[in-house]
C-alpha cells in the first residue's frame, strides 16, 4: 500500500514517534540514510510561495541520495491545463515521491488517489503537517519529551497551522490549548478527531477565546501569521488597527502568563509587531530558527519512512 502524508493523523502515535527519533538521528548523522540513492527524483510542486519548504525539501532529497525536481505550479497549472488525475499519473510514473503545496485539501487528496507513489502535503489551506513534525522535534530537543507538555497556539485559530497543531500535538500526547477570536471556526471534523486521538494518547484539547487562559502556565507558546497565503485580500481587516487578533499577539505581556521557562515557536514568515513582537521572537525564549532548521531533518525522516512503507 502506498503511504501518503496529507494530514497529521496519517501517521499513528507510534509512527510519529519513530519518524521523530529518526529525524533526531539524521540531524546528528546527516547522511546516514540514502533511500533515494540512484539518484531517484522527487517532484516538489509549489502553487503558493515558499522559502523554507523548497529549500528544506531540496536539501533533504539531495542528502537522502536523490534529486529534487522543483515544479513551478504557475507553469504546470495542475487541475487547469490538465486534470489532477492526469498530472498525478504523469508525475507518479517518473518520480519516487511527490511533495505538493497547494490550495484546497481536496486537490492533494485527489493527487494521492492517482499518483501511485507517496504524496506529501507541503501546506494546503487546511493543514501544514510537515511543519508540525519540525515543531515536535524542536520541542523534544528543548524540553526532552512531548507527552504531557502543555502548549498554547494563539492567533488565527481556524487556519492550516491550527488544524495541524490539533491533530499533530494530540498524536504526540500533548495538552494543546488553541486560543483565537475565530476559534469557533476551526473545522469541527478536525476538532472532533483531535479529541478522539487525545483520548488514546493521554493528551487533551482546549479551545478558548481568552488569550491569557490559553497561555496560562504553558510550556510552549506558538503563533502564526494572521494573514495566510491566499487571504491577502483580507489583510486590512486581519492586520488593521482594530484587528480581532490583536489581543492574541505574543508579546512580553502575554508571554508573562506562560511558564517562566516557556519556549516560543513560529513557523515563519513572521510579522513583527503583529502576531509576535520583535522582543519575543528575537528574545531568549524564541527557538524559531531551530524550528526552521528542523524542517530539513524531520522531512528527511518522513520521506525515508514513506518510501520504506510503500
Our finding on whether 275 is near ligand NVA (CB under 6 A) is no
Least Cβ distance, residue 130 to ligand NVA (angstroms): 10
> What grid cell was written down for 82?
490538465
Q: At what angle do helices 288-309 and 129-143 cross, to 10 degrees?
A: 120
Binding segment for ligand NVA among 28-36, 191-199, 222-230, 248-256 (CB under 6 A)? 222-230
Q: Beta 220-223 vs 263-266: how paired, if at all?
A: parallel
Residue list 243-272, contact with ligand NVA (CB under 6 A): 267
Count of residues interacting with ligand NVA (CB under 6 A): 10
Q: Which of 228, 243, 277, 294 binds ligand NVA (CB under 6 A)?
A: 228
Is 131 within any annotated ligand binding site? yes
Q: Which of 101, 163, 238, 297 is catalytic?
A: 101
Question: Smallest Cα–Cα separation from 188: which of 207, 212, 215?
Answer: 207
On the 0-12 / 13-18 / 19+ scale of CB atoms within 10 A, 268 is middle
Residue 160 lies near ligand NVA (rule: CB under 6 A): yes
The answer to whether the CB of 169 falls within 8 A of the CB of 178 is no
In the bound complex, what is the minimum distance in angstroms from residue 266's beta carbon to ligand NVA?
A: 9
Is 52 in the active site?
A: no
Q: Compare residues 134 and 172 and give the one whose CB is closer to ligand NVA.
A: 134
- Give the DSSP letter of residue 164: H
- Minimum Å gap between C-beta 227 and ligand NVA is 8
Encode burial over 151-174: b for 16+ CB neighbours within 10 A, e otherwise: bbbbbbbbbbbbbbbbbbbbbbbb
Distance CA 118, CA 154 (A): 32
Q: Report 118-157 residues binding ligand NVA (CB under 6 A).
A: 123, 128
From the candidates 8, 125, 156, 224, give the one annotated as an active-site residue: 224
Q: Does 224 bind ligand NVA (CB under 6 A)?
A: yes
3-state secondary structure of 154: strand
Instruction: Let me know if 25 is a catalytic residue.
Output: no
CB of 228 to ligand NVA, least distance (A): 3
Scanning 24-32, 158-166, 236-244, 295-303 for contacts with ligand NVA by CB under 6 A, the matching segment is 158-166
Q: How far apart are CA 149 and CA 98, in angstroms?
A: 33
- Backbone torsions φ then ψ of 45, nearest 5 degrees: -115, 130
Query: What string of DSSP letters covers 21-64?
Result: HHHHHHHHSTTS--TTTTTPEEEEEESS--SHHHHHHHHHHHHT
Active site residue 87: no
163 known ligand binder: no
Q: Which residue is nearest to ligand NVA (CB)?
A: 228
E strand spans, the chain? 41-46, 67-72, 97-101, 119-121, 150-154, 175-179, 204-208, 220-223, 263-266
Residue 253 annotated to the active site: no
Residue 105 annotated to the active site: no
* 299 near ligand NVA (CB under 6 A): no
159 binds ligand NVA (CB under 6 A): yes
Stretch that binds ligand NVA, among 38-46, 186-194, 223-231, 285-293 (CB under 6 A): 223-231
Query: Is residue 252 within 8 Å of 280, Cβ to Cβ?
Result: yes
List residues binding ligand NVA (CB under 6 A).
Answer: 123, 128, 159-161, 224-225, 228-229, 267
Q: Which residues carry a binding-site annotation?
A: 77, 101, 128-131, 160, 224, 228-229, 267-268, 295
- What residues are annotated to the active site? 101, 128, 131, 224, 267, 295
Amino acid at each position: 500500500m502506498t503511504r501518503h502524508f496529507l494530514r497529521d493523523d496519517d501517521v499513528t502515535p507510534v509512527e510519529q514517534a519513530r519518524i521523530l527519533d529518526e529525524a533526531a538521528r539524521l540531524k546528528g548523522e546527516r547522511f546516514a540514510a540514502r533511500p533515494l540513492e540512484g539518484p531517484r527524483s522527487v517532484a516538489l510542486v509549489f502553487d503558493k510561495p515558499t522559502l523554507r519548504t523548497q529549500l528544506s525539501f531540496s536539501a533533504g532529497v539531495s542528502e537522502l541520495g536523490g534529486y529534487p525536481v522543483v515544479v513551478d505550479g504557475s507553469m504546470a497549472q495542475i487541475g487547469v491545463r490538465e486534470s489532477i488525475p492526469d498530472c498525478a499519473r504523469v508525475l507518479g510514473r517518473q518520480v519516487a515521491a511527490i511533495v505538493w503545496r497547494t490550495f484546497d485539501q481536496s486537490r492533494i487528496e485527489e493527487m494521492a488517489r492517482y499518483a501511485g507513489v507517496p504524496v506529501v502535503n507541503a501546506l494546503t489551506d487546511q493543514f501544514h503537517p510537515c511543519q508540525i513534525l519540525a515543531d515536535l522535534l524542536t520541542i523534544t530537543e528543548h524540553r526532552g519529551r512531548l507527552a504531557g507538555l502543555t502548549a498554547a497556539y494563539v492567533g488565527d485559530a481556524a487556519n492550516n497551522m491550527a488544524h495541524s497543531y490539533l491533530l499533530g500535538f494530540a498524536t504526540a500526547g500533548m495538552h494543546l490549548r488553541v486560543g483565537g477570536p475565530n476559534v469557533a471556526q476551526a473545522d469541527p471534523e478536525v476538532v472532533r478527531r483531535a479529541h478522539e486521538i487525545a483520548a488514546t494518547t493521554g493528551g487533551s484539547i482546549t479551545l478558548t477565546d481568552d488569550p491569557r487562559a490559553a497561555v496560562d502556565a504553558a510550556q510552549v507558546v506558538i503563533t502564526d501569521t494572521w494573514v495566510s497565503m491566499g487571504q491577502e485580500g483580507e489583510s486590512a481587516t486581519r492586520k488593521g488597527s482594530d484587528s480581532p487578533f490583536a489581543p492574541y499577539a505574543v508579546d512580553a505581556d502575554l508571554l508573562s502568563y506562560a511558564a517562566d521557562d516557556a519556549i516560543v515557536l513560529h513557523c515563519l514568515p513572521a510579522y513583527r509587531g503583529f502576531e509576535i513582537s520583535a522582543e519575543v521572537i528575537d528574545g531568549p525564549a524564541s527557538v524559531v530558527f531551530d524550528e526552521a532548521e528542523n524542517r530539513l531533518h524531520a522531512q528527511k525522516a518522513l520521506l525515508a519512512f514513506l518510501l520504506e512503507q510503500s
